[in-house]
């Protein structure tokens, strides 16, 4: 049985993961409106991945005899001034998610919740990849200085991403 404290923290994380999905889906729609289908595709896949993360927490909580309590999901922004600005937000957001997962791991350690520690280790490793991907895209956007031709090349590259 999972503790009430851990249950509440995981429910908060479910909300954060669902917000991540909403944020990336909003960004996907934004880029679709700008006819940047590759950027839109990359972000749509990212949104689906974040929803999957939420469901991983959801299922873990149920498997441990906990109660899922879904709260309202905050409304994400719907527009950005530039591709660079949008992906800087992705990068910053992934940093916040990493910090949140690390805090969950600290709580699991404090409570000696070994199953949660094992499950969270997967997320810790996943966040290394998430932050790396966002950082690489921001670095590429910095290199090309957001010139239209270069953004289109990046858009084409990102459009090759497919769900696993």
**Is 147 among the domain residues?**
yes
- Check: pTM over 0.85? Answer yes or no: yes
Write down the residue that tokens 């990102």 correspond to: 158
Q: Does 163 fall in a domain?
A: no
Computed over every residue of the chain, the mean pLDDT equals 94
In a domain, 137, yes or no: yes
**Mean pLDDT value across residues 114-138:** 96
pLDDT tens string 71-117: 999 999 999 999 999 999 999 999 999 999 999 999 999 999 999 99
Provide the residue range defining the domain that includes 86: 4-158
Q: What percent of the chain lies above the pLDDT cut of 90?
A: 83
Q: What is the CATH number of the domain that holds 98?
A: 1.20.1260.10
Query: Cα(47)–Cα(80) distance, rounded to whole angstroms?
Result: 17
pLDDT band at 138 (very low <50, low <70, confident <90, very high): very high
Confidence of residue 146 (pLDDT cuts 50, 70, 90): low
Look at residue 151 in the predicted model and tell me its pLDDT.
Answer: 74
- What is the mean predicted confidence (pLDDT) over 130-147? 84
Residue 67 predicted with pLDDT over 60: yes
> For the chain, how many residues are written?
164
The closest of 15, 4, 14 to 119, measured between CA atoms, is 14
Asked, for residue 124, whether it belongs to a domain, the answer is yes
DSSP state of 72: P
Do the domain assignments include residue 117?
Answer: yes
Alpha-carbon radius of gyration of the chain: 17
* Structural domains counted in the chain: 1
Between CA 15 and CA 104 the distance in angstroms is: 14
Asked if the structure places residue 164 within a domain, the reply is: no
Tens of pLDDT, residue by residue over 149-158, are 677 777 778 8
């Amino acid at each position: 049985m999972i503790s009430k404290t851990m249950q509440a923290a995981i429910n908060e994380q479910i909300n954060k993961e669902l917000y991540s999905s909403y944020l990336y889906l909003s960004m996907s729609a934004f880029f679709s409106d700008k006819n940047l289908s590759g950027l839109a595709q990359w972000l749509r896949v990212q949104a689906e991945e974040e929803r999957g993360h939420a469901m991983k927490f959801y299922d873990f909580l149920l498997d441990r005899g906990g109660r899922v309590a879904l709260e309202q999901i905050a409304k994400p922004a719907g527009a950005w001034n530039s591709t660079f600005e949008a992906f800087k937000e992705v990068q910053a957001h992934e940093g916040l998610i990493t910090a949140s997962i690390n805090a969950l791991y600290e709580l699991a350690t404090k409570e000696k919740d070994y199953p949660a520690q094992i499950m969270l280790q997967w997320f810790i490793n996943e966040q290394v990849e998430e932050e790396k991907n966002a950082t690489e895209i921001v670095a590429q956007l910095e290199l090309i200085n957001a010139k239209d031709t270069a953004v289109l090349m990046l858009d084409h590259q990102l459009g090759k991403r497919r769900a696993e």
